């Protein structure tokens, strides 16, 4: 079986942040809570850095799932915000799908809580409608490794690509010469060890 490399294109991609809600975040046990929140915010920051259309959605936020993480709302005050009244699969919500199609983008970058439901269901639905889907694994979380692996296998079997936020940023950026300081700052803000690299780089650059 042959397959082509479907490469991310910042001019053809949109980001879907699905159900990063205060209540649901408490269910995430397959990744350290602090690291997970850092990864979610890193994805949000790179979406802003690359000027990617971003859509926020929540599920039954008046119930136990709780409100959207406030940092996301603050980062994207003007983004489409779809508070689903009850649909578990975000793709079953007409406003959500309309907002996606209104972007005109064919590559969908998806992250959410929990992985096997809030990420997998819309990912599979989008794939069925001909979109290219990229799942940000470290900005999506669930109960344990078993449920995570089951979701990953189900999505990849249908053609979804699994990526981390760091890999995503690098593939979108393509070439360091496009903006060394900007991308380096984004990395430094979310990867403490990367800050050391940028400090070293800045020191050498300023000494020339």
Give the residue numbers marked as catalytic: 118
According to DSSP, residue 69 is labeled: P
Do the Cβ atoms of 19 and 113 come closer than 8 Å?
A: yes
Phi-psi region of 33 (alpha: psi -120 to 50; beta: other; left: phi over 0): alpha
| Lookup: tokens for 32 | 């350290």
Do the Cβ atoms of 48 and 75 come closer than 8 Å?
A: yes
Taking CA atoms, 14 is separated from 9, 72, 86, 134, 145, in Å, by 10, 16, 24, 10, 27
Phi-psi region of 69 (alpha: psi -120 to 50; beta: other; left: phi over 0): beta
CA angle 37, 50, 59 (to 5 degrees): 45
Establish whether the linkage from the previous residue to 176 is cis, with ω within 30° of 0: no
CA angle 53, 32, 109 (to 5 degrees): 20
* Rounded distance between C-alpha atoms, residue 109 and residue 136, angstroms: 7
């Amino acid at each position: 079986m042959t397959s082509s490399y479907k490469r991310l294109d910042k001019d053809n991609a949109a980001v879907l942040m699905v159900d990063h809600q205060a209540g649901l975040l408490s269910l995430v046990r397959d990744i350290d809570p602090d690291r997970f929140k850092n990864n979610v915010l890193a994805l949000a920051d790179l979406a802003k850095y690359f000027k990617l259309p971003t859509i926020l959605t929540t599920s039954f936020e008046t119930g136990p799932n709780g409100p959207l993480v406030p940092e996301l709302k603050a980062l994207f005050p003007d983004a489409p915000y779809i508070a689903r009244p009850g649909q578990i699969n975000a793709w079953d919500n007409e406003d959500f799908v309309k907002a996606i199609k209104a972007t005109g983008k064919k590559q969908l970058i998806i992250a959410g809580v929990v992985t096997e439901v809030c990420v997998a269901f819309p990912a599979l639905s989008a794939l069925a409608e001909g979109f290219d889907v990229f799942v940000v694994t470290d900005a999506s979380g669930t109960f344990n490794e078993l449920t995570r692996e089951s979701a990953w296998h189900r999505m990849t079997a249908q053609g979804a690509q699994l990526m981390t936020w760091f890999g995503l940023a690098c593939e979108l950026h393509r070439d360091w010469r496009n903006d060394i300081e900007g991308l380096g700052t984004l990395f430094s803000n979310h990867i403490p060890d990367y800050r050391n690299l940028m400090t070293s780089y800045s020191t050498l650059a300023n000494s020339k």
